Amino acid sequence: MEAGTVLHAIPWNPKRKAPFHNFRCFVRASSNSQAPYRRPKPYRNLVADWVSNNDDTVRSSPIFVGGASLLAVLFNRAASGIAPVADASSSQSRADLLTLGLAVTNVLAGLVWLTIRPKSISAVNPQGVECRVISSSLPDFVVSELLWVWESLSAVTCCRSLVAVYDGICILQIGVAAESPNEGEALAVDAAKLMQGSLYQAVMKSGAQSYLANLSLYPGRSELPFLPKNTQAVILQPLGEKGIAIIGGDTIRGFTTSDQAWISFIGEKLDATLGKYVINIPLAVQDRV
């Protein structure tokens, strides 16, 4: 008996479709896509705004509360028919004494609030003369960079005076300066005397920026006689190991943290530029306003 292979015919239908599932995609369009954008409203604390706008009333309110409490205690004492002399055995007398103590505390707190007020800090008008003194030994592009530094600082910070001393010579004095005995002239910077002072020595020793936020509190103020008398704040920025930039401001604590960091970068840039040149020519007046 021969072994055979039996093949079964499979019918082929060209119109038969594969059993794919139909997936439907839905796209939902927003009906208000063309509506204007509404930015979120800033949060406002109404209580804080009211207190800020009525500062005097808020500070004196403990006095009124304490005074009213005293009058209420006296009226209650008189209306209740209790003897005016305090009696330790009476609960009413003990309560009245406690109330009187709280009322007096409120009155004293109101007096303290009216006496102690935060000092308002505002910019002052520097007392001095305008000057513009630049060393004639500097190349034109260095002069342009120094002027750019001055214009930038005076435009975006409270800087009103700028002095730069490099390699023992004052290469720049611009802005408002103290008035010399000769009326109408700016007091020149004595670079040798400045370099012998404690402020200069401390900055050069540390190699870091020094910020005198309230110049009137520092005894080293006398080492900066070329600045206006009412200069409020000063930044001493080292220019590498050979120089220093002195920046005077018209506002107490007027230089922000960002200003200080930016001035540090400016000092590094000026040091890189000025370090390429040796300055041996004395100071000359290029322009005086």
Residue 149 confidence (pLDDT) = 94
Q: Taking all residues of the chain, what is their mean pLDDT, rounded to a whole number?
A: 81
* Residue with more model confidence, 288 or 62: 62
Q: What is the mean pLDDT of residues 130-143?
A: 89
Residue 237, classed as helix, strand or coil, is strand
186-200: per-residue pLDDT in tens? Answer: 899 999 999 999 999
Query: In 10 A of CB 127, how many CB atoms?
Result: 12
108 contacts: CB under 8 Å, gap ≥ 6: 66
* Residue with more model confidence, 43 or 77: 77
Residue 53 confidence (pLDDT) = 83
Which segment of 17-21, 94-98, 155-159 scores lowest on mean pLDDT? 17-21
* Residue with more model confidence, 56 or 170: 170
31-76: per-residue pLDDT in tens? Answer: 454 556 565 666 677 888 887 788 888 888 889 998 998 888 888 8
Percent of the chain topping pLDDT 70: 78
E strand or H helix at 134: strand 129-134
232 pLDDT band, cuts 50/70/90, is very high
Residue 75 confidence (pLDDT) = 85
First CA to last CA distance, the chain? 128
Written as six digits, the tokens of 234 are: 């000063």
Residue 41 confidence (pLDDT) = 63
Residue 214 confidence (pLDDT) = 92
Q: Which of 238, 253, 166 is nearest to 206 (CA)?
A: 238
236-283: per-residue pLDDT in tens? Answer: 999 988 899 999 999 999 999 999 999 999 999 999 888 877 544 444
Residue 77 confidence (pLDDT) = 78
Domain boundaries, given as residue ranges, for the chain:
46-115, 129-281
165 pLDDT band, cuts 50/70/90, is very high
Q: According to the per-residue pLDDT averaged within each range, which of 24-28, 92-96, 123-127 is highest?
A: 123-127
Q: CATH number for the 129-281 domain, one of 3.40.1710.10, 3.40.50.450, 3.30.450.40, 3.40.50.970?
A: 3.30.450.40
How buried is 35 (Cβ within 10 angstroms: 0-12 exposed, 13-18 middle, 19+ buried)?
exposed
> Which residues, listed in sequence order, are joined to residue 163 by a DSSP beta bridge?
173, 246
Residue 283 confidence (pLDDT) = 44
> Which residues, listed in sequence order, are joined to residue 179 by a DSSP beta bridge?
186
